[in-house]
Amino acid sequence: MSPFRSVVFLSGGVGGARLLHGMAQVLPSEALTAIVNTGDDFEHWGLSVSPDLDTVMYTLSGLADESRGWGLLDESFRARSLMERYGGPSWFALGDQDLATHITRTQALRDGTSLTAVTARLCKAVGVRQQILPMCDQPRRTIIDTFEYGSLPFQEWLVKYRAPSVQAVRFVGANGATSAVHHAIERADLIVLGPSNPYVSIDPIITLSGVRERLAQKCVVALSPIVAGRAVKGPLADMVRTLSGLEASPQAIAAHYRGLVRGMVVEHGDAEALSHLPMHETSTIMGGAADRARLAREVLAFAERLQ
Ligand code: FO1
């Protein structure tokens, strides 16, 4: 039994979603709230797409295509093929079933429903019982300044240009978290920063006005998305080197979160140089559901020792 009655989990896409799935297995649903990055959101084919919210929702509902890392199981891409024939943009693939999510969201937003409310509706419909909160109801977009291609919106940088080297990361647009986000943080007795990219998944959330200050009042633990000098997924290792000047390591992640986290969970063998911070060493690469639950239990037990 976890002593925590209200755990708030900050998440980006796939890595965060998998540990969140572990948390969902070991905590009562009313004790778990996710605050999800929406800096990756964009308009594609005239639709409002929220990739991290959808990855979280599909993972918790068991609908995710785990091997692809995004989108739905048993997906087809016939709409995309036709879009290609029409000469439309096909560099970002919306699956045929996935389209239902984006169409429902787009219609609701157009009718004046908030992103928070439509996310709750979508989650309920697919059986997700935990509270899943977008960080923001208004657009706040992650812009990547690159050496090679200038400034790119996040998805163009990641998917269209395949993550060219990063000069700087900026967030443009709204600066305020929703009241639901503030309320969730206020009543939380534990905050977990998922093993997501700190620069483009966690920073968009914690740089919202007043959020970092509120989080710093709480017990915050982070998982390192760097394992043995390498990013578990994506371009993070290169970003750490260019943005912080440090080698890609859990120490660089700890330095990034300095003053915010009370402890870190790192891969076996990665704790040595992290002398200033309590840490828990374990296997952080998550396999299936049981492994995610195992890691979630360890994170909660570690956090309990930090209290
Ligand atoms: N990632 C890709 O690399 N290529 C795609 O075509 C793609 C489509 C896509 C559609 C819906 C969705 O929810 C996510 C999708 N992703 C795709 C993943 C996404 O670009 C990123 O992995 C996240 O934004 C980062 O967390």
Residue nearest to atom 21 of ligand 1 (CA): 51
Task: Give average pLDDT by consecutive 10-residue segment, the chain, 307 residues.
Answer: 93 96 98 98 98 98 96 98 96 98 98 98 98 98 97 98 97 97 98 97 98 96 88 85 92 94 93 82 93 98 95
Give the Cα separation of 305 and 294 in Å (integer).
17
Burial call 47-76: b when 16+ CB within 10 Å, e when fewer: bbbbbbbbbbbbbbbebbbbeebbbbeebe
Are 54 and 101 a contacting pair, CB within 8 Å? yes
Amino acid identity of residue 123, one-letter, is: C
- In the reported structure, the alpha carbon of residue 86 is separated from the centroid of ligand 1 by a whole-number distance in angstroms of 22
The conformation of residue 260, written as its DSSP 8-state character, comes to: T
Give the Cα separation of 113 and 57 in Å (integer).
19
- In the reported structure, the alpha carbon of residue 290 is separated from the centroid of ligand 1 by a whole-number distance in angstroms of 25
Atom number in ligand 1 closest to CA 155? 20
In 3-state terms, the chain is what percent helix, strand and coil (to 5)?
40, 20, 40
Question: In a mutational test of the pocket of ligand 1, which residue from 48, 65, 92, 141 has the highest number of ligand atoms less than 8 Å from its CB?
Answer: 92
Amino acid identity of residue 30, one-letter, is: E
* Residue 47 Ramachandran class (φ > 0 left, ψ -120 to 50 alpha, else beta): beta
Q: How far is CA 131 from CA 50, 127, 150, 181, in A?
A: 16, 11, 37, 10
Give the Cα separation of 66 and 55 in Å (integer).
10
Q: How far is CA 182 from the centre of its chain?
A: 18
Are 253 and 198 a contacting pair, CB within 8 Å? yes
Biggest CA-to-CA distance, the chain: 58
- In the reported structure, the alpha carbon of residue 11 is separated from the centroid of ligand 1 by a whole-number distance in angstroms of 15
Asked if residue 92 has its Cβ within 6 Å of ligand 1, the reply is yes
Q: Assign 45 to helix, strand or coil.
A: coil
Ranges of beta strands (E only) in 95-189 are 131-134, 140-146, 150-153, 166-173
- In the reported structure, the alpha carbon of residue 102 is separated from the centroid of ligand 1 by a whole-number distance in angstroms of 13
What does the pLDDT read at residue 271?
A: 82
Give the Cα separation of 156 and 42 in Å (integer).
10
